[in-house]
Chain A
């Protein structure tokens, strides 16, 4: 590794492990006030945006299906979510007889709390100064940053898994088995793409990730990493959220409601809330990792220019919310084996190869090129080898080989040689 590269890396690390400048001068009453306000604003804003997101999803998807959608509660049906929530709140809270009572009650919180916590590390805006105190527009800026996101999304798996398991009923159990298998499979690809981002930033802190992209458009990780990691991340995160087309966990046609079949009243509302909150927070994470977070052109308007980053951030997040709803409207649900094939055979190898290539390019251009070429050649050879093997197998013993996805092969029992050619 060259000396200049090392120096650059060190300076990056020095820059990024700084943390929120709010705590530089000790923790006084002002720090407490700012922190409490931050938490409250984030909490309320998240809840309100979830409410609007549910409305937006229902409205947009109905537009995409030439329907009208909710339009009775409030102007344009804006208060529909509120009405639904109120209704759910007053419904009877059923507890199945064969449920594991304590786990059954715990599960919704395991879904909801991580969804709330993930948002704390998202940089919403730039750094602002109020009466001599400088602080970041984000609830918390821990040095572990993005690891916290991964940890929380892993805990959310427990919420889904335990909900299905503790219901004491077969469809929720099936749904939760699918969910945990799916989430664990896609977490690998998710983690590897996050590592790619961390590698090029040199820090785990979300603020540092955002700052390293902040100079201009070409520095966004989307471009810097070569677009592919972004798509890998988007697919992996959609699967992680169990959003369509990866919503096998609550496939209505097969599993009634999936893991939350036995849930009712406010407990069901919590799952619902968590699901949509996750959509919002994960959109925010995508924006943070690949689209420069609050980065964007800021015109110099006194006393208002500090809010421009926030506006940019909101616009970017909104675009991803739109994309998630669009996914739901346009794509049919994957079969289980297709889901696993996509996850294990495509996403993980590609993300792994890309990670190696990026690592090589960070060390040296020739290293990167060599690794990239090697990955492509190796991958092609492997794919070809698998193909040939499968082809030969199907040629030799047609009645023993399970047909691949596609038209069903009619299996005839092997007759005497030479009888039917």
Chain B
């Protein structure tokens, strides 16, 4: 290493000055939280709902599997035999008491996976700050969906647009029973207010990525498959080219989306400035 390189090495910290100045011109990464909220993931785990069938019957059969699987021990269920003249659920028994303590719940979604009747699922709502312990324990009356099939919106909850949509058992079903042979075939029951939902992204080959933002399971798993399970046209060099093409397209889309976002941001900022000027 020559003396020039040595000096350069010693003075390399000066690059920090340039970098910090550059950052002055970059867009800010902070979001002004209560006013400006990040879009939620399509399968975000939020507060639970208790679903009902299309005819209004409750899906819960009081089997207590959810309470059994819960690692935080926050669910309390008591089942009771259905009254023969006025049944609550189509089965033999129904959930007579159903309580979730949100001071304990960790939103792991194990209860949703354990449920045999898709009775308990999670909405995308996470902004519910109660001010006393009694409010923290949600009872069945608060968890069960209303007559339109929508979750009840309690006064201390901050529901956003779309939080209550796509929350049912339909949501968790990717390939029903994990068997590729059933891909795209409806294996979930209808629900109050929505009927039987059609399969979408990740649930069928005719998927819609924009709607759910998810990937097809087969694409995700392909690198892990045995060679003979991979389609011929995706093997070897050809396959590599194909994958590179796909990722390039995806990146291009991402870049375009980002570019458009910046354009919008700039336009709105310019508009704001113009407005300010006009008002001043």
Interface of A with B (CB < 8 Å)? 63-68, 326, 329-332
Contact = CB atoms under 8 A, between A and B. Distances in A.
Given A65-B23, A329-B16, A330-B19, 4 more contacts: A63-B24, A64-B23, A66-B30, A68-B28
- Most chain B beta-carbon contacts within 10 A, residue among A65, A67, A330, A332: A330
Interface residues of B, number: 14
B27 A66 contact: yes
A68 B17 CA distance: 19
Given A331-B13, A332-B13, A66 B29 contact: yes
Contact of B20 (A64, A67, A68, A332): A64
B26 A66 contact: yes
B32 interface: yes
A316 B27 CA distance: 29
Interface of B: 13, 16-17, 19-21, 23-24, 26-30, 32
A63 B23 CA distance: 7
B24 A64 contact: yes
The 3 closest A-B pairs by CB, nearest first: A330-B16, A64-B20, A68-B30
Contacts of A331: 13, 16
A64 B19 CA distance: 8
B9 to A, nearest CB: 11
Contacts of A332: 13, 16
B24 A67 contact: no
Contacts of B29: 66-67
Nearest to B25: A63
B17 to A, nearest CB: 5
Contacts, number: 33
A91 B24 CA distance: 35
A65 B32 CA distance: 16
Given A67-B30, A68-B30, A326 B17 contact: yes
A21 B138 CA distance: 80
A353 B24 CA distance: 39
Nearest to B22: A64
B8 to A, nearest CB: 16
Contacts of B27: 66
Contacts of A330: 13, 16-17, 19-20
B19 A66 contact: no
A64 B32 CA distance: 18
Contacts of B32: 68
Contacts of B21: 64, 326
B31 to A, nearest CB: 9
17 contacts: A63-B23, A63-B24, A64-B20, A65-B23, A66-B23, A66-B28, A66-B29, A67-B29, A67-B30, A68-B28, A68-B32, A326-B20, A326-B21, A330-B16, A330-B17, A331-B16, A332-B16
A399 B195 CA distance: 80
A332 B17 CA distance: 11
A326 B24 CA distance: 11
A63 B29 CA distance: 10
Contacts of B19: 330
Contacts of B23: 63-66
A71 to B, nearest CB: 8
A329 B20 contact: yes
A331 B18 CA distance: 11
Contacts of B26: 66
A66 B24 CA distance: 7
A63 B26 CA distance: 9
Nearest to A63: B24
A328 to B, nearest CB: 9
